[in-house]
Amino acid sequence: MRAVSLTVFVAIFSALFCLSDTVAGQSNPKVEELISLHDLGTTVSIGHYYLKQESLVSIRSYLGQVGHDERLGDRWQPDDRWWQKAEQALLATMMDDIDRDFSDLAWLRPGWAELFANTFSDEEIAALVSHFRTETGGKQVQIIDHTVSTQVMMTLSFAGKLSPMPGIEEDRARMQALWNEEDERMRFSIQGAANGEGQAFALSPLGKRYFTTVILNLTGMVNQRMDEIAVQRVDEVRLHGDSVRPFVEGFKRDSA
């Protein structure tokens, strides 16, 4: 009896595994089309700024430790040209990693597509695409995207994770400019019959479910990804630490 049960269990488990593998391998063109209607450029800019900040914190701490370990003296400071060359070399490499692992959003699309596929039927996906391709629907997509970027910004701000520091002033200005532009762009009148279509969608069960699904889940996914990458900064700078050797040697030559 046990042998039969085990055989049945293995067969069912194998079937489920194959089924999930097949579903995961399928791509719904309408889901991809719906995702493509969103623009998370401002959210990416916020994450890029935060992760650059965390990279610089780790880099400057590492370079300070290098100066201590190699007894480079008081002249080994962030305003020294050799320190700056070392800092920029490390930062360029680490930002390439951030562009690949965060900014291009390739990591987000599979989870986003799975979220939509598991939350909305094919008929609902088609209806969402059709609505969001209208002028009013397009504005509502912008509202959703802006809300996501605002929630991401608020999460970082309330947690005290954003700190003004030398070296990222331009990134901060760019992030703020993008947010302001997005805030202005997504505004439209919500009064009167002219916006009847928008009000009807926003108050519909599908509209409510879409707004909450996207805003809550995308905010959570982006914040989690940023946290994962941020905690890797210390190990990442050590991984690339050998690249600063020529600049340390240059500093020593100048100091001789």
Residue percentage of the chain with pLDDT more than 70: 86
Phi, psi dihedral angles at 108 (to 5 degrees): -85, -35
CA atoms of 158 and 136, how far apart (whole Å)? 32
44: Cβ contacts below 8 Å, ≥ 6 apart: 102, 103, 105
Residue 240: strand, helix, or coil: coil
Tell me, what's the pLDDT at 15? 38
Give the position of tokens 């291009």.
Answer: 104
188: alpha, beta or left, given left = phi > 0 and alpha = psi -120 to 50?
A: beta
Torsion 224-227-233-234 (CA) sign = negative
Residue 8 lies in a domain: no
Residue percentage of the chain with pLDDT more than 90: 72
Single-letter amino acid code for the residue at 41:
G
Residue 9 lies in a domain: no
Residue 170 lies in a domain: yes
Q: Can you give the length of the chain in residues?
A: 256
Residue 12 lies in a domain: no
| CA-based nearest residue to 223, from 94, 40, 33 | 40
Q: Cα–Cα–Cα angle for 7, 13, 19, nearest 5°?
A: 135
CA atoms of 147 and 212, how far apart (whole Å)? 11
- Give per-residue burial for 125-143: e unless 16+ CB within 10 Å, then b: bebbbebbeeebbebbbbb
Residue 104 lies in a domain: yes
> Is 232:164 a contact under the CB 8 Å cutoff?
no
Instruction: Look up the domain containing 192 and give its range.
Output: 28-255
Residue 23 lies in a domain: no
What's the pLDDT tens digit per position in 223-232? 999 999 999 9
**Taking the model in full, what pTM does it have?**
0.84
Residue 67 lies in a domain: yes
Residue 21 lies in a domain: no
Tell me, what's the pLDDT at 222? 97
97: Cβ contacts below 8 Å, ≥ 6 apart: 236
CA atoms of 57 and 166, how far apart (whole Å)? 10
Q: How confident is the model at residue 193 (pLDDT cuts 50, 70, 90)?
A: low
Please tell me the least confidently modeled range out of 166-170, 190-194, 245-249: 190-194
Number of independent structural domains in the chain: 1
For residue 167, CA distances in Å to 30, 125, 163, 174, 206 come to 42, 44, 12, 13, 45
Single-letter amino acid code for the residue at 169:
E
Give the position of tokens 């080994």.
Answer: 76
